[in-house]
Structures are given as C-alpha cells and as structure tokens.
Structure 1
C-alpha cells in the first residue's frame, strides 16, 4: 500500500496563501471597526433655559436616539456648579449614522411631539444660548465606546473629560501613538474605566484629542491619578524621547452624570 505524501513545494505554496488571506482579512474586515463620537456642549444663561433643555433631552432627544439605534447616551453637568453647561456624549457606529441622524429623528413623530418646545422655540425665547459640537473618531487602541459599571449615585460619580492639544499634526499623531502603544494599557490595568478615546476630526481647538475616564467619586479619582503618576510602566513610557513635547496643554473637565443619563 502506497503512503500518501504531500509535496513540500505545494505545502509552502498553501502556507503562503493562508498567510496572505489572514493579512487581507485583518486589513479589510476583521480588524475592529472604529466608532465615532459627538460631544455637544450646551450653554445656557438662566435656570429656566436649563430646565427646558433638560426636559427636551430627557423626554425627546434621548428617547429618539434610542429608537434610532443609539442605546447609550451620556448627559453630564459640570461638578463645578458655576459653569452653565450641559454635555451630551453620543457614540455612533459609523460616520454615515452621524450624518443621517438629523433626518432620521426629524421623521420620528414621537420626537417631534415631545420636543416641540425645543424644535419650535421662538427667537426671543431660546431653549439654550448656543452649543458647541466636537466630532471624533475612536483610537485604534480603543475602537469602541465602553459604558462603565459604577455603583455610586449619580451625584457622587466623576466622569473626567480631557482634551489634549498639540503644537502640530505630527506631534498630535505622536500622542495618539503613545496612547495606543502603552498608555491605554496602563489605564486599563489601574482601573480608570475609560469610556472612549477620540481624535477630533471637526471642532474647535485642533489638532486635539479627547478621552473620558470614570470613577465612583472624587476621592477615588484623585487616588487613581496619584497611582498613575508613580506607576513604573508610565514613568518608563513617558521618559521615552520619541514622546517628548507631544501635547501643549491638557484641559480637564470634571463632570457628574444627570439622573437620566444612560451611563
């Protein structure tokens, strides 16, 4: 009985084809797809505006986003009550979903009815004093939004939003590389409960990136940053000369979630 043998040359050929298929799949479909994020920062001048805006967000806007397939939307107020602002964080699966959202919710009859005060607001009695919009693409190192599982009450929780500005596009990309190649792993190991990391594609203060971490309370937040600052892996990573001067400034915003926020 003859033994069945597989020619070595053919084995090498099949091995090469297998590797090529794996590489192609990784590059064109199997690599994690990066999400997109919008942060809307509403400004208001008086309490009546804030009350109307909260009613709109709670009763009209968030339910409409849920019906449009966006299940987790964050709504936050500054921990410092002196700031007359509300922050809304919206994760999108694609840029197309972001672009089509206004048309999608405009066809939602429940939204149009519940949001009438906001939609039909008079020019001399506006619901807000304007809003900023920042549009971002997720980092390769954290391609998807992650809602934390915090146990404390909304008024105790701290969501820390940071914005890093750089002096040039090259240095900005370098800071993102630092996140992807070590900094995010340190955050994860130390339990920072990172919600998202995004490269700003449209908005003020560019080039910049934004990310959000979350904590049970202010004391826990402070303890985590103290541990981060003395962490050997961070000390080593931050001392690498290729990451020198990769941001000019960091703006830090400490936020509490609203009672009706999804996160």
Structure 2
C-alpha cells in the first residue's frame, strides 16, 4: 500500500468504527425496579429513600428525570412501587451502585433505608427489569398532561411472546406502525422497550399516560380502528401470547 494512502485508510477505518459504535449504543436503556412490600411503614420508608436520597443522587449523576409510580389499586398481599431509571449508555446502569456508594449526600439522606435491620427491612423483595429503547422512540419522554398527578392514569403494558423471534416481530410491528398510531393519537408515551433482562421474557414493555381514566378509555377507543388494518397483516400474526396491563399513577415526587 502506498504511504500516501495510509491516512485515508485510517480515516475511513475510524469513521467505520465510530459508525458501528453509534449503531450499537444509540437508544436509551431503561431500568424498571419494583419494590415489593406489605406494610404502610415499609412504603413510607421506601418513599422517603426515593424522594430524599435516590432521585437527588441520580440528578447529581447526570440523570435528569426519574419516574416513581404506584398501582391505582394495590394488592394488599403484595404491594408495589415502580421506579423508572432511564440512562443514555448501558455503562451508567452498571455503575449506579458505585456512583451511589461514593455519594456522601446519598449515604446520609438514605441512612434509615440503607441501614435497616434484618428484622425490619423496608421491603420484602426487589425485582429489576432492564430494557432497550425501540428504534422508533430512542429516548423517554415526560408526559404532557394537565391533570393533577393523583388523578392520572399511567398504563404499563407487558406483551409476552411464545418465542424470541415472535417477540422481535412484535417490536418490528411497533416500529413499523403502532408507534405512529400512538403518536398521532397523542397517547403521551413515556417509553417503549424490549426487555433484555427480566422474569417474563421474551417480552416488551411500554407506558402510555392519560389525564384520567375517561381520557384513557377515549384514547383506546380511537386506537382500535387505526390499529385494525395493521393487526390483520399476515406477517404480524400470533406475536403476542400474553398481555399484562397495569394501571399506575405517579407519586407527587416523581419526575414523570
């Protein structure tokens, strides 16, 4: 190879590597952490921890918005709090624990939760789900709603599929058509994500938001005729085996 060509080849190689890195890294990653608890005291302790310690620490770490949601109707035997943490790079998720461990303000504000006794834990279990943002919506969005947070309905859906191939097919269906319908009808989606680690894989999850239950019902009524032609396409048949739908609302300290 002629010496004068080496800089050109090196430049092309660097551009290719940069393009591949961008392709691999584009799109947010989402952590959905679910606290399971049984008592009002546990709920209060988790609320205090999230409001006064975790969310401020995430803000200091460069994550501007955290979502905290609770079921509209709690299962008294297994109550839950959902915590949504979006990050631009996967490494941020891997480093969350180290980041928090080095944050003295977090350690101080979260002391009652962090130092809870073995026989007085603030939860029964913690469940964590990791997702990768869809191509059609690469980052989360804060809902543009007008109602008080206590009246809102945040609809969290999980679509399970029989196989990985069918799950990918459902993601393609979203990217091809469903996201456009949701956007057109102003469903105020927070995120759409393919689950890459969780207990009900293969599945995807997404969250749409509404001012209240009536607003939610009206949106879905408008969705049905728009979705009908897409649902009949032969390439998208049998790609959902189970639909789990939860109605949540944001806490008063939630950023979403």
**Fold shared, TM-score > 0.5 on shorter chain:** yes
Name stretches of at least 5 consecutive residues in structure 2 with no aligned partner.
Answer: 1-11
Partner of 1:258: 251
CA-based RMSD of the aligned residues comes to 1.9
- Distance in 2 (CA, whole Å) between partners of 1:63 and 1:172 is 36
SS of alignment partner, residue 155 of structure 1: helix
Partner of 2:92: 97
Q: Which of 156, 174, 191 is the equivalent residue of 2:151?
A: 156
| Equivalent residue runs for 1:1-263 within 5 Å | 27-28=19-20, 33-82=26-75, 84-231=79-226, 234-263=227-256
- Please state how far the C-alpha of 1:29 moved relative to its aligned partner: 6.5
- Please state how far the C-alpha of 1:112 moved relative to its aligned partner: 0.3
- Distance in 2 (CA, whole Å) between partners of 1:149 and 1:26 is 35
- Distance in 2 (CA, whole Å) between partners of 1:211 and 1:66 is 23
Q: Deviations over 1:77-102 (max 9, x none)?
A: 10113351100000011110000010
Q: Deviations over 1:102-127 (max 9, x none)?
A: 00011000000010111111110001
- Distance in 2 (CA, whole Å) between partners of 1:30 and 1:98 is 18
- Please state how far the C-alpha of 1:26 moved relative to its aligned partner: 10
SS of alignment partner, residue 170 of structure 2: helix
SS of alignment partner, residue 230 of structure 1: helix
Name stretches of at least 5 consecutive residues in structure 1 with no aligned partner.
Answer: 1-19
SS of alignment partner, residue 50 of structure 1: helix
- Please state how far the C-alpha of 1:153 moved relative to its aligned partner: 0.3
- Distance in 1 (CA, whole Å) between partners of 2:164 and 2:75 is 34
- Distance in 1 (CA, whole Å) between partners of 2:83 and 2:247 is 14
TM-score of the two chains, using structure 1 as the length reference: 0.87
